[in-house]
């Protein structure tokens, strides 16, 4: 996810014993609260699903779209996230997943650069039939995705992300004519040396 969590000072300093030297219960509590607040930004049923997008627009100085500019489509009511898969705790109800589809739909060219594949959709609906339904957003994990829109403003955005940002990227397309999304953990090694654009 694009980070909204302030990093503790000791994580920003290079130290061999930085975690063990600085561990205390208050700090752990503060970090847990920060993580819970960040989770509300991603899945904020208390207010609106647009909270993360609205906060990002505020921080970037962008004028956000309103919720009424979208057709909201529930695509599954059987979503279990990665925490469910990893925890072994099975006594929870599944979540639903919704796509916010712009009413004023524009054309996109989505290029999965490392695979050499192009599509005109931000969503891989076939992923909803698999265990990792979250992969419906941008077809899962890719090292480099380039999205071109019909927006004539010439503005470009580089997003260095993990997979949790995939659901946020579609909201940003109304603001930029080109979006490059990089996930360093799955970007092939050769790309660090060969990609100059």
Q: Is the pLDDT of residue 76 over 60?
A: yes
pLDDT at 120: 95
Average pLDDT over residues 164-178: 90
Distances (CA, A) of 51 to 5, 84, 184: 15, 23, 26
Residue 188: per-residue pLDDT = 66
The predicted pLDDT at position 12 comes to 46
Locus of tokens 């979503």 = 79
Reported confidence tier of residue 89, pLDDT bands at 50, 70, 90: confident
- DSSP characters for 10-28? HHHS--TTHHHHH--HHHH
What local confidence, expressed as pLDDT, does residue 150 receive?
A: 92
Beta bridge partners of 72: 100
Distance CA 72, CA 147 (A): 22
* Average pLDDT estimate for 70-79: 91
- Tell which wins on pLDDT, 134 or 55: 134
pLDDT value at residue 189: 56
pLDDT at 136 over 90: yes
Which residue from 165, 160, 183 is spatially nearest to 113, judged by alpha carbons?
183
Name every residue whose Cβ is closer than 8 Å to that of residue 144 and which is 6 or more positions away in sequence.
112, 113, 114, 180, 181, 182, 183, 187, 191, 195
Higher pLDDT, 36 or 137: 137
Helix (H) or strand (E) holding 156: strand 156-160
Q: What are phi and psi of 168, to 5 degrees?
A: -90, -30
State how far the Cα of 106 lies from the Cα of 103, in Å rounded to an integer: 9
CA-to-CA distance for 84 and 81, rounded, in angstroms?
Answer: 5
Q: Report the Cα 103 to chain-centroid distance in Å.
A: 21
Determine the pLDDT at residue 26: 63
| Between 126 and 161, the higher pLDDT residue | 126
Residue linked to tokens 């060219």: 109
pLDDT at residue 190, rounded to an integer: 47
Backbone angles phi, psi at 148, to 5 degrees: -110, 135
In this predicted structure, what is the pLDDT of residue 45? 40
Tell me the two tokens of residue 193: 């040396």
In this prediction the pTM is: 0.70
Using one digit for the tens of pLDDT, what is the confidence trace for 22-50?
455 565 556 555 555 554 444 434 344 57
């Amino acid at each position: 996810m694009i980070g909204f969590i302030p990093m503790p000072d000791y994580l920003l300093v290079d130290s061999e014993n930085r975690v063990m030297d600085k561990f205390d219960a208050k700090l752990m509590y503060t970090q847990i609260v920060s993580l819970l607040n960040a989770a509300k930004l991603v899945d904020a049923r208390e207010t609106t699903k647009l909270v993360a997008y609205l906060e990002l627009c505020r921080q970037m100085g962008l004028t956000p779209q309103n919720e009424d500019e979208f057709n909201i489509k529930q695509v599954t009511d059987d979503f279990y996230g990665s925490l469910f898969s990893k925890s072994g705790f099975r006594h929870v109800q599944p979540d639903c997943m919704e796509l916010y589809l712009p009413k004023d739909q524009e054309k996109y060219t989505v290029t999965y650069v490392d695979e050499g594949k192009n599509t005109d959709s931000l969503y891989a609906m076939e992923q909803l039939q698999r265990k990792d339904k979250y992969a419906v957003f941008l077809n899962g994990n890719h090292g480099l995705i380039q999205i071109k829109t019909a927006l004539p403003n010439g503005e470009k955005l580089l997003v260095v992300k993990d997979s949790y940002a995939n659901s946020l990227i579609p909201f940003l397309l109304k603001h930029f004519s080109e979006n490059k999304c990089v996930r360093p953990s799955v970007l092939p090694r050769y790309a660090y040396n060969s990609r100059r654009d």
